[in-house]
Structures are given as structure tokens and as C-alpha cells.
Amino acid sequence: MSSSIYLKDLSDGIIVLDDSGTIIEANPGAIKLLGLTDDYLGRKYIDIISASGNKENDEFHQVVIDSILSAPETCRKKVNYLSADGTEKVFQLSSSVPEKGGEPGRLIITLTDITETTRLTMLRERASYAFIVILGFFSCWVLAYSLWQYLGYPIPVETMSKILIFSCLLISVFTVLYLKLKPEECGLRYKGIKKVIITDIVITLVCTAILIIVKAIIMRVSPGFTFYCKDNAFFDFSKYKWYNYLWYIFSVFAQEFASRGLIHEQTRIVISSKHREGLAILMSSLVFAAAHVHLGLIYMVSAGLLLGVLGIVYKKQGTILGLCIPHFVLGEMIGILGFVRF
């Protein structure tokens, strides 16, 4: 039975050459990959490549030629290849000479497509680096909080919050630039943004109405319950100035960028479990809540719950651009309604 019967069923590209570099056989995978014409049999590999005039894959072809020249020594290298349609691929090239009993003077070159494996390995390496950055930053923040507490709170809480936001944003931007992450890899997806914004506005209105109803019910059922509002008003805008809103807009984007673009997205890559989305939401929510340790337990729990709910929305939408709307409005409303003290 001819060996070509076996070769044509293999997904890998297989080229069989003699000791002079003449192509004796090639399977469909290799023919498609290299763009071989019908007259490739009996021609030298180097002559076919020279005639093609394609300079894009010189490095790839040089590895193949080196394998021919170094025979019978085996060769195993990872090489890049630009296919005819412009797709960049990565191949594991290996050459071997048939064992004793095989046809003498023959070299078998195998091309295995490892593009996806290489991509996943690179993503996990980047995600691992991001986790090291997150762990380092969070450890430094806990130490800073402990020092702040030990010294008797010499810096106002508001200043501590600003330090947290600025440092968090700087670390996130540095990590994204260093890892060369694309916008869509850190939560900045623009596809269908109009529909996303409309959906998030509706979610914001519904959640705001729920908060108002919850406060009204509490005041009705338990009149003695104390909210953090001046003169026990239903809405308290007295502590808010226009510059507070501008700061919070910046703060919301920074928080979403760090928690979604860095923590959430990189957790999804590192974890291969079917529950990775849920674990990504949980991880980003816990880190976000713990980072607000300087604001007290109630604020930490509220922040974690808010981010958890928004994490579910992010899972559906895949972008932080619309998500900033409910984050901003709901974050302000829990303060205006007096659920937490700002």
C-alpha cells in the first residue's frame, strides 16, 4: 500500500525529499501550506521557492533548507509563516530520516500547526504577569493602609481614595502597555455600543427606582432607622459639589478599567474551568471590595455587591463603556439616599 494513502489523511503538512532536496512526495496539507503547483514532484525545493518570488517567508524556507542540508541529523524548530490569505501562523517543523528498513536517502519534514497553542500560551503568560502586578499592588495598598491606620489617619479619607484611584489607573495603564494588550482585550469593545448604552440606561433607571422604593419601605416600616442624610432628608445633595461629580466620572472609568480590563479579563484567561466567568466576576468583586478597606466594612460590602451585579452585565456586553453609566449613577445614589456615608 502506497505511503501517500496515509499521508493524505494527516492534518500535518508532510514533505518527503531525497538527499539532493528534490521533492518526492507531499500530502495535501503541505501542498496547500506552501502553495505548490501541480508540477512540484521531481523538482528541488530550493528551485520552487526561488521561482515563487515570495520574500515574506524567507526565514521559514531557510529552516526547511537547513533541515535538508543538515540531514541525516534531525531538526526541530518553531517557525512563523505568513499564509496566502495574510494569516500569520506558527509551525513546529521537524525533520527525520526513516529508520533502518526505510528507503535510504529520504528526508521527511513534518509541519505541525501550533498557532492556537502558541496564542494560548502567550495569553496565559501575559495573564500571569498581570496577576503578579495585581498581587503586588494590592499588597502595597494593604501595607499603606496599615501605616495610615498606625499613624492615626494623618491623611483624610478622601485623599486616600484619590491616591487609590490614581495609582490603580497608572498601574493598569502601565500593565496594558507593557503587555501590548489590544483595546478589546481590556474591556474597550465598541461593537454594538449604541445598543449597550441604551440597555445600561434602562438598567440604571430600574435599579435607581428599586433603591428609592427600598428606602421608602424601610422608612415606612422602621421610622427610627437612621440613614446618612442631613436632617434625615429622603435625598441629600448637600455634600455634593460639581467637581465631586467630575471626579467620580473619572474614578468610575478608572475602577471599571482596572477591575474589568485587568482583573476580570485576565482571570478568564488563566482559569480554564467552565465556571471561569463566575470566578472572574467573584475575583474582581472581592479585590475591588477589599481595596476600599479605608472606607469601612459597609462601603466595602456595598462596593463588592455593586461590582458583582455589574460583572454579570459585563459578561453579557463585554465592554466597560456602557457599564460606566450604572456604576456612576448607582454609586452616587447609594450616597444621596444615605445608604452609605461618603
Percentage of the residues of the chain whose pLDDT score is greater than 90: 18
Instruction: Supply the pLDDT for residue 145.
Output: 92
Instruction: Supply the pLDDT for residue 220.
Output: 87
pLDDT at 266 over 80: yes
Between 274 and 3, whose confidence is greater?
274
| pLDDT band at residue 68 under the 50/70/90 scheme | confident
pLDDT at 50 over 80: no
Instruction: Give the three-state DSSP class for 113.
Output: strand
Instruction: Supply the pLDDT for residue 2.
Output: 47
Amino acid at position 341, single letter: R
- Section 86-112 average pLDDT: 76
Enumerate residues 6+ apart whose C-beta is below 8 A from 287. 134, 138, 259, 263
pLDDT at 150 over 50: yes
Q: Environment class of residue 27 by beta-carbon count within 10 Å: exposed (0-12), middle (13-18) or buried (19+)?
A: buried
Edge to edge, what strands does the sheet with 23-26 contain? 23-26, 13-18, 106-113, 88-96, 75-82
Enumerate residues 6+ apart whose C-beta is below 8 A from 130. 175, 179, 262, 266
- Section 225-244 average pLDDT: 80
CA 284 to CA 298: how far, in whole Å?
Answer: 18
| pLDDT band at residue 52 under the 50/70/90 scheme | low
CA 258 to CA 302: how far, in whole Å?
Answer: 18
Instruction: Supply the pLDDT for residue 97.
Output: 79
174-183: burial string, b at 16+ Cβ within 10 Å, e else: ebbeebebee
- Section 177-196 average pLDDT: 87
pLDDT at 1 over 50: no
Amino acid at position 229, single letter: C
Instruction: Supply the pLDDT for residue 94.
Output: 86
pLDDT at 4 over 60: no
CA 284 to CA 319: how far, in whole Å?
Answer: 15
pLDDT at 154 over 50: yes
pLDDT at 197 over 90: yes
- The Cα-based distances of 13 to 42, 62, 63 in angstroms read 18, 17, 15
DSSP state of 182: -
Instruction: Supply the pLDDT for residue 149.
Output: 92
- Section 181-193 average pLDDT: 87
pTM exceeds 0.85 for this model? no
| pLDDT band at residue 88 under the 50/70/90 scheme | confident
Ranking 12-21, 51-60, 264-273, 276-285 by mean pLDDT, the lowest is 51-60
pLDDT at 125 over 50: yes
pLDDT at 8 over 70: no
pLDDT at 98 over 80: no
Mean pLDDT of the chain, nearest integer: 84
Instruction: Supply the pLDDT for residue 53.
Output: 58
